[in-house]
Amino acid sequence: MTVTDDHRTSAAAGRPPRRLGIALLAASLTAAVLAAITPWPRGFQGAPTGDPELIAELEDALGSRHWQHVAAARVDGDEVTFAGTGAHEHTEFEIGSITKTFTAALFAEAIDRGEVKADTRLGEVWPDLDGKVAEVTLESIAMQRSGLPSQEPAPSFSDGVMSVLSNYIHTDPYRGDAADIVASLNDVDVGEPEPEYSNYGFAVLGQALAEVAGQDYSELVRDRLAEPLGMKETFVPESADGLSHGFTASGLPAAPWTLGGSAPAGAIRSTTHDLSIWLRAVSDGTAPGADAAEPRADFEDDRIGWAWFTTTQDGSTITWHNGGTGGYRSYLGFDTESGGGIIVLNDSANDVDEAASLVSTKGERS
């Protein structure tokens, strides 16, 4: 007797098909394995260092997530207090997009040196450029309103595939070198000059400053910012060799990011010790290019200078930037009136922006 299609459909409705059962079993096993190897969210780990009051306030502000190593510095005028968990003021972290504040300072410094002007166009830096991209100004990039896309165009199809895969295998998604960043300008589509956060734009800005100075971006950071300020623990890595790695938000290892030609958008490594020097020097105006932090235009609900955001809330005005890479998150903010500030560096992909609540707005700078 031959079973008809209708009968087969009816029988299937009465019991799960064998393939579906196998698929459900496989999915269950996969979920069990992932649960076994993925750490659950938890609070601070590791031995506490530095000021216990600051670490208690930080833990309260950030909440219970999967934290690996966290380091913090609170600035109160000339006084700096350090604290950490499994880390201290000399522990090295990726600072992510806080790097943009260094690139912005280099821009302001290049203006002071007469190397560029605020309205210098990309076509003046690279004369072979033509069309709309040649008219983009350096200041429009620094103020995140250049019309350049948010991310670096992939140098090749294979690089594009690897950039996508990096989200799943936790590696550096930035594939192009400095030459690739410059070459990409020949084909990039430029949108309207409206506020839009662009990592690619800051990659271009940093490489433009390197071009006019005749130095690599890493050399500019070292020679014009880090060394003059005595920031011996701050640098742009040339490769991932020997670098510490961070962790995903759930605690899985994430490879270090060096960003290649996009380094000016987020590749700097530093410590809370060095960033406390940076915060104080920018806040009091003694850092090279410190006026980059001055607010110049609206950006969504905030104001923006060159890279730096300024937020007014509850009567306080905080100038800040945060950062994030595959395995790190960071926050740096200060109140220019009081001289108070906070820095938090963390080697997991859990945001630390709530640290803004720890910026001291009491008192007044003398």
Structural tokens at position 89: 């003021």
**Who's near 22: CB < 8 A, 6+ residues apart?**
none
- What DSSP line would sit under 323-364, residue for residue? EE-SS-EEEEEEETTT-EEEEEEESBSS--GGGGGG----S-
Mean pLDDT of 76-88: 94
**106 in Cβ contact with 206 (< 8 Å):** yes
Mean pLDDT of 127-148: 97
pLDDT at 17: 46
pLDDT of 268 > 90? The answer is: yes
pLDDT above 90 as % of the chain:
71
pLDDT at 2: 33
**350 in Cβ contact with 329 (< 8 Å):** yes
Q: 314-346: b or e for each residue (b if 16 or more CB lie within 10 Å)?
A: eebbbbbbbbbbbbbbbbbbbbbebbbbbbbbb
pLDDT of 344 > 90? The answer is: yes
Strand order across the 297-299 sheet: 48-50, 79-85, 70-76, 340-346, 329-335, 316-324, 309-313, 302-304, 297-299
Q: Which helix or strand (DSSP H or E) is residue 275 part of?
A: helix 272-283
Question: Which segments within the chain are labelled E, that is strand?
Answer: 48-50, 70-76, 79-85, 93-94, 246-247, 253-254, 269-270, 297-299, 302-304, 309-313, 316-324, 329-335, 340-346
Candidates 62, 68, 61; CA nearest to 86 is: 68
SS3 29: helix
Q: What is the dihedral of CA 106, 111, 112, 115, to 10 degrees?
A: 100
Phi, psi of 217 (to 5 degrees): -55, -45
Angle formed by the axes of helices 199-213 and 99-112, nearest 10°? 40
Segment 280-338, tens digit of pLDDT: 999 999 999 999 999 999 999 999 999 999 998 777 899 999 999 999 999 999 998 88
What's the whole-model pTM score?
0.86
pLDDT at 263: 98
Mean pLDDT of 120-132: 97
Write down the mean pLDDT value for the chain: 87
Segment 15-68, tens digit of pLDDT: 444 554 555 555 555 544 544 455 555 677 788 999 999 999 998 998 877 788
Q: Binning pLDDT at 50, 70 and 90, where does residue 9 land?
A: very low
Cα-based distances in Å from 170 to 93, 241, 261:
17, 16, 19
pLDDT at 168: 65
Question: CA-to-CA distance for 140 and 151, rounded, in angstroms?
Answer: 16
Highest mean pLDDT among 54-63, 155-164, 270-279, 356-365: 270-279
Q: Binning pLDDT at 50, 70 and 90, where does residue 6 land?
A: very low
Cα-based distances in Å from 362 to 148, 263, 318:
40, 36, 13
SS3 128: coil
pLDDT at 63: 83
Place of tokens 């079993």: 25
pLDDT at 66: 73
Mean pLDDT of 115-144: 98
pLDDT at 153: 78
**Who's near 274: CB < 8 A, 6+ residues apart?**
226, 231, 232, 233, 234
pLDDT of 95 > 70? The answer is: yes
**137 in Cβ contact with 121 (< 8 Å):** yes
pLDDT at 25: 59
Structural tokens at position 198: 């662009």
Question: CA-to-CA distance for 332 and 281, rounded, in angstroms?
Answer: 13
pLDDT above 70 as % of the chain:
82
